[in-house]
Structure 1
Amino acid sequence: MAQLSPFTLPSWLTPSHFIMIGLLLIFAIAHSGLAGLRMWGESKIGARLYRVLFALVSIPLATILIIYFFNHRYEGLVLWQVQDIQGVKTTVWILSFLSFIFLYPATFNLLEIAAIAKPEVHLYETGIIRISRHPQMVGQVIWCIAHSLWLGTTFTLVTSFGLIAHHIFAVWHGDRRLTKRYGEAFLKVKERTSIIPMLAILDGRQKLDIKEFIKPAYAGVIGFIFLFWWLHPWLMIATARVSF
């Protein structure tokens, strides 16, 4: 009977696991690297052109990640299967909805994102920032929990751990960049806010103001979420046609 080499990988550990780790690493280096070079880059080519460069690098890499995840999400070892349990699908959709609420309100200035208006770095301390100073990290963690629960595969867990690790790094990296740019002004914001959701509110440093959430930007995010929900089946079909 043939003996397995001690270096033989288990059959469920497909190459897609390692490819996803590589793609996540490339995206993290490019995205965080360009963010770290923003002040220097803007001084050389201007804020608008640097934003265009940032988008031309980040968006294609993010698109590749999304397509690759969709196409390989069921690969690897199935650790749990809960899709048929009553209430799980609803829970996953609610968590996914909540994740997008946190993921996208950090980028309210759409004209700046598109480089129509001059991109600026802002010190926010209202709205969702009262809940967490790093809402995108919170949203990503919630998204990863929801999709890991639903899919239950090792490939999904590898993807989730990679995304969460990148966003935890981005918390440190983002605070470091803002400290460098704003100094004492950001340190004061940092004292009045928290990374952990609701902590600053619970310990009295912040007070939640519902009126701050009644604005077009939040309505736009909610509209986008419902549009994404409607397009979700079509996206599954479209990404499946891209073979890589």
Structure 2
Amino acid sequence: MVSPLLLSTSTPLLLPSSRRWPYLRSVATPSLRCPPSIAFPKPSQRPNLWRPNSSNCLRFFGRTHDRGTSIGGAEPESPIPDEAPLGEDSAAFDPRQQKLSSWACFTAILGAVLVALDVLWISPSTGFGTVYIDAVSRLSERPEVVLLMLIVIFAIVHSGLASLRDDGEKLIGERAYRVLFAGVSLPLVVSTVVYFINHRYDGAQLWQLQNVFGLHELVWFSSFISFLFLYPSTFNLLEVAAVDKPKLHLWETGIMRITRHPQMVGQVIWCLAHTLWIGNTVAVAASVGLIAHHIYGVWNGDRRLALRYGEAFEVLKSRTSVIPFAAILDGRQKLPKDYYKEFIRLPYLTIIILSLGTYLAHPLMQAFSFRLLW
């Protein structure tokens, strides 16, 4: 029930994150100057942006170089091919690169956050969550309206802070801004989810299909698939908890080959499945609010990536798609023969286990929500 708020190459590029890119680990690559052009699928799509003296030159390397300034000396023999990886390997996890101290710190931070959330927000005696829900509920007696307002408030705060991330990180640092971002967003999403659980059957019934043969299995399978799309943004849990310095990642493999915005796709699948099952105005309001928020996130996410990565993102954008499988079907995305290996990784296994655990924990989640009386 819980809606969460994803190669072959002839001249590969070694990015700062190449240590986590297993395909490039063993490739010896000459140092590169700024390439004069990039090969797009069609000549008409080639922007005249790659100039050696451009301020955007080699932006994906994290620095710029003027004309005649090489990064070590040698020129590449040919322009970067369209298939050359520019982004990071999604869900890559190397146990040898992990530090026990980092995960111990992550566990401590997670415990502290949960305690603070309970004391400052959830607990009726000490938290502000009840005051917040009561204040919004006074604006309307209809639960679908209240739920939609809760989603709108969360969307404004969450997307607003995401849009201000670059300036905020310059002002207070990456870790401090991540703490601020999570500290404001987490209470709001908990309130919205709990209100939805408590009022999901309070709206006007529009249809009743729960007795239709096979519908429960369809909803269950759709929800399970949605979680595989929903969570690529949390592949690096140490960054989520600000143990590692948070980054705005340019993912390229795994689920990103199917859709460039898997979180939006997963949210749409989840919403359609649960709306079909519940069939009332509260479910419709939740779906409208969440889907609208994630569609906005498609535009805002592309905008932020373009500002951060420049031409590298434009190339990746040209060979991926928002609509699932569209880039694959029209030939812009070519799947490697061993594509399935990009999913046989610990982060995806973790998502599968958590998804099954969430389904089995539905009764506990409902009991917890009912006790809050939100």
Give the SS at the match of 2:372: coil
**Contact map agreement 1:134 1:195 (CA 8 A) in 2:** yes
Q: How does 1:12-91 map to 2 (within 5 A)?
A: 14-91=141-218
Cα RMSD (Å) of the superposition? 1.1
Which among 347, 350, 354 is matched to residue 224 of structure 1? 354
Note the alpha carbon deviations across 1:149-203, whole angstroms, 9 max, x for none. Answer: 1100011101101100000001001111111111111111111100000111111
Distance 1:215 1:207 in 2: 21
Equivalent of residue 183 in structure 1, options 295, 305, 310? 310
Shift of 1:14: 5.0
Provide the residue aligned with 1:240 in structure 2. Answer: 370
Identity of aligned residues (%): 56
Query: Partner letter of residue 228 of structure 1?
Result: T
Q: Deviation of residue 66 (structure 1)?
A: 0.4
Unpaired segments ≥5 residues, structure 1: 1-12
Match of 1:105 in 2: 232
Partner of 1:195, secondary structure, is coil
Contact 1:101-1:139 at 8 Å conserved across structures: yes
Higher radius of gyration, 1 or 2:
2
Counterpart residue type for residue 243 of structure 1:
L
Q: In the aligned structure 2, how far is the partner of 1:236 from the partner of 1:159?
A: 17
Q: Which of 162, 181, 202 is residue 329 of structure 2 equivalent to?
A: 202
TM-score normalized by structure 1?
0.93
Structure 1 residues 27, 243: closer, same or farther in 2, change over 3 A? same
What residue number does 1:129 align with?
256
- 1:14–1:76: 8 Å Cα contact kept in structure 2? no
Within 2, Cα distance between the matches of 1:107 and 1:203? 29
State yes or no: 1:147 paired with 2:274: yes
In 2, the alpha carbon distance for the partners of 1:43 and 1:122 equals 17
Query: Which ranges in structure 2 are unaligned for 5 or more consecutive residues?
Result: 1-139
Number of residue pairs aligned between Structure 1 and Structure 2? 232
- Which TM-score applies when normalising by structure 2? 0.61
Runs of 4+ with >2 A deviation: none
